[in-house]
Chain A
Amino acid sequence: MRTDLRRFLGKCLLFGVLMVLLISLLFKISDFAIKQKMPQFFKISNDINIVFAGDSNVECSINDSIVKGSLNIAQSGEAYLYSYVKLRELLDCNKQIKTVFIGFSFHEILKEKEDLLLFQDSYIIEKIKLYNYLLNKTEKGLIFKNNHLAYLKGFLQSIFNNVVVFAKSCASTDSRSILVDFGGYLYLYGNKLKEDIRLQENTKQESSGKSPEKGLQQEKYLKMISQLCRQKSVRLILLNTPKHSYYSNRITKEIKDNWLSVRNSLPQDSLMELSSFPLSDSCYYDITHLNCIGANLFSKYLNEQIYFDKTDALEKDGD
């Protein structure tokens, strides 16, 4: 019996070692391959000199086919850390980019939001899968330290993702078709505003008791985005996209103060405070996201503003 047991354990051990070696090898190859191709697929059209980054608020609000010469790379559930690493690579490869818009909604800087976007299992797995090859040791360490299991899961999934991106980059030279999971305008059809308001009403009591805390990592990486833009001589504009009045009315003074203090720590960057941009209910998908009707109207408006360069005037209005 003992011999059988030892044989069984020996084979399991051998199998385990083989698996670890194989995974390490696959990771090294895929990582090396993708890094070789990176300058090629991060090079976007020379006509594009404006980039929109951020989370789902920007993702659903800006239709980059309407805003001339722009590219939307915002993605749902994106923390500033991921926006930073994406921008770092994009700005390195594209000297023609002159302006970066970064989502700067009231809730974005909250600790609650940071815990969700940066350290929750499903977000980590999804983002590490997509962006592991863009992260440096410090950035990986931050995530790993806080949730190592989710990081490992995302890391394993990133191997296959790297292979896919690499294969696409071999087959095509169009960066938009290679970086399909890199973010972009999300066309939302329909309107779930009433349902969302009903849902918010039901959860009202649960959330009202908590005092808002600032998310330190979110703040840190927003500042790093600002620094990066300055180094690259790119203009950074903080963009607070339109929100439904139901949402705006529920933003407490403490949240606004937090938001303002972060904004004031970035005096060299502009702000477009358009959270109360006048839009009818039919333009919203839910209380914080625009549907395609709203995105069309808002993108047209933004296009006019950008090309008539009224951003400074807007900032004064907002403040």
Chain B
Amino acid sequence: MVFLTYWFVANRNLRQQNILLLLASYVFYGWWDYRFLLLLVSITIINYLVGIWIDSDNNHKRRKILLIFDLIINIGVLCIFKYFNFFVDSFIDFLSIIGYTLPKSTTQIILPLGISFYTFLSLSYIIDIYKKNLQANRNPVEVLLSLSFFPIILAGPIQRPSSLLPQIAQKRYFNYDKAVDGIRQILWGLFVKVAVADNLAPEVDKIFQNYADFNSSTLFLGIVFYTIQIYSDFSGYSNIAIGTAKLFGFNLMQNFAYPYFSRDITEFWKRWHISLTTWFRDYVFLPISFSISYRMRNGNIFGIKRDHLIYISASIITWFLTGLWHGPSYSFILWGLINGFFLIIYHLQLKQRKKLFKKFGINNNNIIIVCVETFITLCIIMLCWIFFRADNIQEALFYIDGMLTRSFFSLPELMPVKAIFFSVIFIFSEWIQREKEFALQIDRVSLPALRWLIYIGCICLILFLGGGNQKFIYFQF
């Protein structure tokens, strides 16, 4: 309905197009819970106003105060809604360790959908203006739309206003090829979400909830399934969001670039949830690195090279925050830190590795080396996912312990045919289409009838064999 109104009724001028999209975004968000719509509108209006104030003020001190004020508002709201219970419970736990016992907090704050995503959009808007990378837009509709555009509001991609605003400020014209590509991307997103992720979800839940009852190979199968599930679930949503935006004439950034085919952990994080990792790189990692480097003297410190020390410190802080961004729990924080640890290890061994390869005359692109490294990277990622999926750290450790027994070499106790079938189809399609933006981009199939057959096949698999009603995993963040 919005699509038809957008192109048939509101296509006369830019203002109409933007107003319609803003209204659609608010209706879409308010549909989940109208109370949180007020929060979204308030935050975006505050950011709009602060953006103008910072931009129009030349006094550095005042600009800084305004920036800090805005950061407090945005991060404060995020902390209250997302981390309040966690901080209070952690504080009570800490007090109990030193001998003071307080009753557990009974206040449970409901998490507004997509709060982490739109807070990050707002933060990047204000920081970019402060750094003079972006001029504050005076048009309220355009700014509010860039901070609450409905395809990206719930679970990203975190499309920064600096790249979205110029598109919003220009009138969109219908483009047939773009619309076809968009609808194809939506179809692929639906396929990986409904047919792949939702069929894997019950198996993963069964294994993780009863991990003590299963043998090692089943637990291993469980984590393999979860590795595919979380990717298909989240990339599915991203594809739907990007495809929907294309239907309205927008280009959003690619959020996943076949991450499981990465050779090393650094490459993985360049291909996984790209919008979030680049956000953390630009607004946390690099500023921290620069800040530390200004304060640190040259030479070795505690026997560690200065550059390495800067990298290690910035990585630890960034990955601690990345873990915390995903949720208020110690297991997420540990998941982030483990990823940071492997990234540091990878960074530290790079030079030695190069020397070693040169010494023994090993070609870096040797197929065996590539395969072994890809496999090791995948194992590391799967290990990390155990902490991400488990309810707490203790459970994750028990899960790993349960996985490392002799029964690892026996047959799994579960063999869900449907889940395995869809996993294989998914991985295979991703592999053969890895040069494309998404796997269903089948322009090179010249026969239109064959292309339609593939689309019909996808829809039939979704309709006839799709899994149950499962929420998107990343909606909780």
The answer for the CA separation of A18 and B466 in the assembled complex, in Å, is 20
Residues in A with CB closer than 8 Å to B330 are: none
A156 touches B180 (CB 8 A): no
A18 touches B456 (CB 8 A): yes
The answer for the CA separation of A160 and B213 in the assembled complex, in Å, is 32
Residues in B with CB closer than 8 Å to A8 are: 174, 176, 179-180
Among residues 1 to 38 in chain A, which have CB atoms less than 8 Å away from a CB atom of chain B? 1, 4-5, 7-8, 12, 15, 18-19, 22-23
Which of A5, A15, A153, A157: most chain B Cβ within 10 A?
A5
Interface residue B140 (Cβ < 8 Å from any Cβ of A): no
Whether A1 touches B465, Cβ cut-off 8 Å, given contacts A8-B180, A18-B456, A19-B459, is no
Among residues 439 to 455 in chain B, which have CB atoms less than 8 Å away from a CB atom of chain A? 452, 455
B456 touches A22 (CB 8 A): yes
Interface residue B469 (Cβ < 8 Å from any Cβ of A): yes
The chain B residue with its CB closest to the CB of A7 is B176
Residues in A with CB closer than 8 Å to B213 are: 189-190
A15 touches B464 (CB 8 A): no
A159 touches B464 (CB 8 A): yes
Among residues 122 to 157 in chain A, which have CB atoms less than 8 Å away from a CB atom of chain B? 122, 125-126, 153, 156-157
Q: How many residues of B contact A (CB 8 A)?
A: 22
B465 touches A160 (CB 8 A): yes
Q: How many residues of A contact B (CB 8 A)?
A: 22
Interface residue B7 (Cβ < 8 Å from any Cβ of A): yes
Interface residue B166 (Cβ < 8 Å from any Cβ of A): no
Among residues 288 to 331 in chain B, which have CB atoms less than 8 Å away from a CB atom of chain A? none
Interface residue B72 (Cβ < 8 Å from any Cβ of A): no
Among residues 190 to 210 in chain A, which have CB atoms less than 8 Å away from a CB atom of chain B? 190
Residues in A with CB closer than 8 Å to B7 are: 5
Q: How far is the CB of A84 from chain B (nearest CB, A)?
A: 25
Residues in B with CB closer than 8 Å to A125 are: 468-469
The chain A residue with its CB closest to the CB of B212 is A190
Residues in B with CB closer than 8 Å to A5 are: 7-8, 174, 176
Interface residue A121 (Cβ < 8 Å from any Cβ of B): yes
Residues in B with CB closer than 8 Å to A159 are: 464
A121 touches B466 (CB 8 A): no
A122 touches B469 (CB 8 A): yes
Interface residue B175 (Cβ < 8 Å from any Cβ of A): yes
A160 touches B464 (CB 8 A): yes
Q: Please name 28 pairs of A and B residues whose Cβ atoms are closer than 8 Å in the assembled complex, sorted by A.
A: A1-B11, A1-B173, A1-B174, A4-B174, A4-B176, A5-B8, A5-B174, A5-B176, A7-B176, A8-B174, A8-B179, A8-B180, A12-B183, A15-B452, A15-B455, A18-B456, A19-B456, A22-B460, A121-B468, A122-B468, A125-B468, A156-B463, A157-B463, A157-B464, A159-B464, A160-B465, A189-B213, A190-B213
The answer for the CA separation of A122 and B452 in the assembled complex, in Å, is 31
Residues in A with CB closer than 8 Å to B463 are: 23, 156-157
A121 touches B464 (CB 8 A): no
Q: How far is the CB of A103 from chain B (nearest CB, A)?
A: 24
Residues in B with CB closer than 8 Å to A190 are: 213
Residues in B with CB closer than 8 Å to A22 are: 456, 460
The 5 closest A-B pairs by CB, nearest first: A160-B464, A4-B176, A156-B463, A5-B174, A1-B174
The chain B residue with its CB closest to the CB of A11 is B180
Among residues 180 to 194 in chain A, which have CB atoms less than 8 Å away from a CB atom of chain B? 189-190
The answer for the CA separation of A189 and B210 in the assembled complex, in Å, is 12
The answer for the CA separation of A217 and B8 in the assembled complex, in Å, is 48
Residues in A with CB closer than 8 Å to B452 are: 15, 18
Residues in A with CB closer than 8 Å to B183 are: 12
A157 touches B465 (CB 8 A): yes
A4 touches B456 (CB 8 A): no
Residues in A with CB closer than 8 Å to B469 are: 121-122, 125
The chain A residue with its CB closest to the CB of B175 is A4
Q: How far is the CB of B310 from chain A (nearest CB, A)?
A: 49
The answer for the CA separation of A17 and B1 in the assembled complex, in Å, is 18
The answer for the CA separation of A12 and B466 in the assembled complex, in Å, is 22
Residues in B with CB closer than 8 Å to A122 are: 468-469
Q: How far is the CB of B5 from chain A (nearest CB, A)?
A: 13
The answer for the CA separation of A159 and B466 in the assembled complex, in Å, is 12
Residues in A with CB closer than 8 Å to B173 are: 1
